[in-house]
Amino acid sequence: MESKSLHRRNYSRRNFLAAATALPLVPPAKAAPETRVALARCQSYGPHLVPLLGKMFDQIGGLKKLVAGKTVAIKVNLTGAATVRLWYEPAETTYWTHPDVIGAAIYWFGRAGARRIRILESFAEGTKPLEEEMLVAGWEPADLLNAAPRVEMENTGFLGHGKRYHRLMVPNGGYIYPGFDLNHSYEECDVFVSIAKLKEHVTAGITGALKNLFGIAPCTIYGMAAGKDEPAAVPHGGRMMFHTGYRQPSRSAPQENDFTSPREEGYRVPRIVADLAAARPIHLSIVEGVETMTTGEGPWVAAGRSRKIHYVRPGVMIVGADPVATDAVAAAVMGFDPMAERGTPPFETCDSTLALAERHGLGTRDLARIEVVGEPIRNLVFPFRNYT
């Protein structure tokens, strides 16, 4: 019956197979609601970020309802190592979330009545506290810890302060993983915030609020030296299994849905990012592009790339409740079409993280359905691909 129907529409078996592989594994969710993203010009870091972010939070509906009396968990982006710089530029002006942005956001969460605020990030090696890595980078962690009452930090690359890992499932079953075992901080929070850097990404197209969640997976379970049956005690090595699928997570955690799915980075990484963002929904996204770098997610991507890395100053700040919409505006600011699919910049060699997240029902990437408040996108377009 199905075959007959296909023939009536002039489908050959070959066409059908081609179309089937292009379809998402998971049925599309119903249309996402209209959403609002605040966009602002911001030429430098400093104390002026406090009023700027305050205004932007107001533009998307204010923080009080969202955070008052709640535990707020903030995933920041401290990828790589503090000792690695792009030339003489510090990590925070090229590939890390800048501490002034984190501090300003924390200040407003405190003002809006957050009960507790946790700054979260993980590292591929060891159990060092976040504060230590910040000191190595030349930051003063006390500036962040004192930006509001009851601020804490936790390295979520291992069990940390928790007694067990917490399982967060992907509501519709997931593209690659049905769920993830994560540090307690990702479940023991009422509000989850992703503060990301505006960057390109070699295997996910762009780095934004969504891709930032790659780092919530503990390397004790998803790293190169993850335990075979149980999580390792200490992380040793990055999440190569996410990239290449060369092995499975510790058996104690959910295993892949389909062991025969492609082992290709450009297929896996965007899907895993979408799975993570579905398992641990983001309530507030902040993408800062005051200063950043082109070509990839960190200085280490230089090797073998046809494009050089450039330190650049797009001078933008983007805030939204919908992470897909926030990243879509970020992509547009970077000079990309958020509706682009694989084969089109910035997704030349990978599937669109935005499209996959959209199909998970996490938001919309369609600029026509996004109300951009503050500066219009056209005023702040900073084409990353002009830098070759």
Partner 1 sequence: MWVKLARLKETTVRSDLVPMRWPETWQDGSKFDLLRGTPINCLVGDRPPELPLGELRFVRLDPASPPEGIVLVEGVWPHVKMARRDPNAAETGPTGAPWVDSNGWRIRLAQALNPDKTVWLTYMPPKQDEIVAPAAFALAVAEAEAYGAHWVITLEENFRRGLDEGTAEAVEAWRKIVAVLKLGASSADWRRFEPVAPLAVVSSFAGEAEFLSQEFLNLADRRGLAYAIVPSSRALEARLERYKAVIYIEPQPPEGPLRAKLLDFAASGGLLILPEPPAKATAVETSFGHRIYRHGKGRIAAPVEAWADPYLLAGDVHLLIGHRHDPMRVWNGGMMNTLYLASPDGSQGVVHIVNYSLRSTLDAVTLGFPRTYQSATVLTAESATPVQPVKRRLGIEFPLPPFSTYARIELRG
Under the rule (CB under 8 A), what is the footprint of partner 1? 81, 83-88, 90, 124-129, 132, 135-136, 138-140, 236-237, 299
Indicate the residue among 81 and 339 with the shorter CB distance to partner 1: 81
Indicate the residue among 133 and 256 with the shorter CB distance to partner 1: 133
Cβ atoms within 10 A of the Cβ of 292, count?
28
CB of 97 to partner 1, least distance (A): 15
CA nearest to 219, candidates 180, 269, 259? 180
Indicate the residue among 80 and 205 with the shorter CB distance to partner 1: 80
CB of 88 to partner 1, least distance (A): 4
Judge whether 268 and 243 are in contact, CB under 8 Å: yes
Tokens of 34: 């209209």
CB of 263 to partner 1, least distance (A): 18
Burial class of residue 126, CB neighbours in 10 A (0-12, 13-18, 19+):
middle
CB of 94 to partner 1, least distance (A): 12
Tokens of 149: 């009452």
CB of 214 to partner 1, least distance (A): 17
Indicate the residue among 197 and 359 with the shorter CB distance to partner 1: 197
CB of 382 to partner 1, least distance (A): 24
Print the SS3 string covering 85-130: CECCECHHHCCCCCHHHHHHHHHHHHHCCCCEEEEEECCCECCCCH
CB of 51 to partner 1, least distance (A): 21
Indicate the residue among 129 and 178 with the shorter CB distance to partner 1: 129
E strand or H helix that includes residue 326: helix 323-333
Indicate the residue among 225 and 339 with the shorter CB distance to partner 1: 225
For tokens 């919409």, the residue is 325
SS3 315: coil
**Cα–Cα dist 76/209, whole Å:** 9
Indicate the residue among 81 and 169 with the shorter CB distance to partner 1: 81
**Cα–Cα dist 361/274, whole Å:** 10
